[in-house]
């Protein structure tokens, strides 16, 4: 006997919603796009890599949804405005934005030059802000919407490397709170997801031994998350079950942020 209903019994449907996921050509972004499509949403996949974005769109269409792809850099404000306007024209509206596009590079402070610092801020902070800004008018036209900003556990606790990534992910939490307050009168809810360690191609490439060590030493649940588990959190914030949740940070991290390391 299972103590909880099977997931399919209680998953909120997103039929008729149009969702945009940035950086959805690969990794977690692709998992978010597929999870939103599986719940009924039509999905736009925007990524700097147009080819991988088109492949994610194909996978979403295979689930029976409408899906569109576009290739551009989220740090380019003119391109962000062009792409969101084109999406709204094609899809007929916009209800959900997942600001997921991101980079990291495992650099220590002495290794970070001005160019690397500016790029980290541009992709995460500028990208998140201007995609959200371009989504306001179409969301108001639909009577509300959801903006879900992808931060990281490293926006809350320190890692050994990438201080500029930590700073950018913390800035995303600040943007989330400020926009949540400003946009609440229009029923646009703004929240952040701050994932802990996730099984991805990048973490697999660092080796099974490393994953076992991190799991044992830092994570009370003693394992990494699967991308689909982070996608459940994103879908909760995109759906009707989170209608009274705004300005919050949900951090699926297996308990890592409780203990620190």
Which residues form the catalytic set?
Answer: 165
Q: How many CB atoms lie within 10 A of CB 16?
A: 10
Residue 83-102 contact track with ligand NAD, rule CB under 6 A, x = bound: -----------------xxx
CA–CA gap between residue 43 and residue 81 (Å, rounded): 18
Shortest distance, position 91 Cβ to ligand NAD, whole Å: 19
Choose between 73 and 228: whose C-beta lies nearer to ligand NAD: 73
Residue 57-76 contact track with ligand NAD, rule CB under 6 A, x = bound: ----------------xxx-
Shortest distance, position 65 Cβ to ligand NAD, whole Å: 20
Tokens (6 digits) for 9 = 């019994």
Given 123, 173, 183, 219, the residue binding ligand NAD (CB under 6 A):
123
Residue recorded with tokens 């899809």: 91
SS3 116: helix
DSSP calls for 52-104: HHHHHHHHHHTTT--EEEEE--TT-HHHHHHHHHHHHHHHS---EEEE-----
CA 205 from centre of chain: 22
Shortest distance, position 96 Cβ to ligand NAD, whole Å: 16
Give CA torsion, residues 222, 235, 176, 189, to 10 deg.
Answer: -150
**Are 164 and 116 a contacting pair, CB within 8 Å?**
yes
Choose between 16 and 220: whose C-beta lies nearer to ligand NAD: 220
Given 152, 176, 191, 233, the residue binding ligand NAD (CB under 6 A):
152
Residue 14-53 contact track with ligand NAD, rule CB under 6 A, x = bound: --------xx-xxxxx-----------------xxx--x-
- Smallest Cα–Cα separation from 165: which of 218, 112, 99? 112
Choose between 46 and 146: whose C-beta lies nearer to ligand NAD: 46
CA–CA gap between residue 83 and residue 139 (Å, rounded): 15
φ, ψ of residue 193 to 5 degrees: the values are -115, 130
**Are 18 and 67 a contacting pair, CB within 8 Å?**
no
Pick out residues in 171-230 that bind ligand NAD (CB under 6 A): 195, 197-198, 200, 202-203
Counting residues that bind ligand NAD (by CB under 6 A) gives: 28
Choose between 187 and 203: whose C-beta lies nearer to ligand NAD: 203
Given 96, 150, 190, 235, the residue binding ligand NAD (CB under 6 A):
150
Choose between 75 and 136: whose C-beta lies nearer to ligand NAD: 75
Residues that bind ligand NAD (CB under 6 A): 22-23, 25-29, 47-49, 52, 73-75, 100-104, 123, 150, 152, 195, 197-198, 200, 202-203
């Amino acid at each position: 006997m299972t103590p909880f209903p099977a997931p399919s019994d209680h998953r909120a449907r997103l039929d008729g919603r149009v969702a945009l996921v940035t950086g959805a050509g690969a990794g977690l972004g692709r998992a978010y796009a597929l999870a939103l499509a599986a719940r009924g949403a039509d999905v736009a996949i925007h990524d700097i890599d147009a080819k991988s974005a088109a492949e994610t769109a194909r996978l979403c269409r295979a689930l029976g949804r409408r899906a569109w792809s576009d290739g551009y850099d989220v740090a380019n404000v003119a391109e962000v405005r062009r792409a969101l306007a084109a999406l709204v024209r094609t899809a007929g509206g916009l209800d959900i934005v997942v600001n997921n596009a991101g980079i990291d590079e495992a650099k220590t402070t002495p290794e970070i030059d001005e160019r690397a610092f500016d790029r980290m801020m541009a992709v995460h902070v500028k990208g998140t802000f201007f995609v959200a800004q371009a989504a306001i008018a179409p969301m108001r036209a639909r009577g509300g919407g959801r903006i879900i900003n992808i931060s990281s556990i490293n926006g809350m606790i320190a890692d050994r490397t990438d201080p500029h990534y930590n700073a950018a992910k913390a800035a995303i939490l600040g943007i989330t709170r400020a926009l949540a307050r400003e946009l609440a009168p229009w029923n646009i809810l703004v929240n952040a997801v701050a994932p802990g360690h996730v099984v991805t191609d990048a973490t697999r490439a660092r080796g099974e031994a490393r994953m076992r060590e991190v799991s044992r030493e830092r994570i009370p649940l003693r394992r990494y998350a699967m991308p689909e588990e982070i996608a459940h959190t994103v879908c909760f914030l995109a759906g009707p079950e989170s209608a009274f949740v705004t300005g919050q940070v949900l951090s699926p991290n297996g308990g890592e942020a409780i203990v620190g390391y």
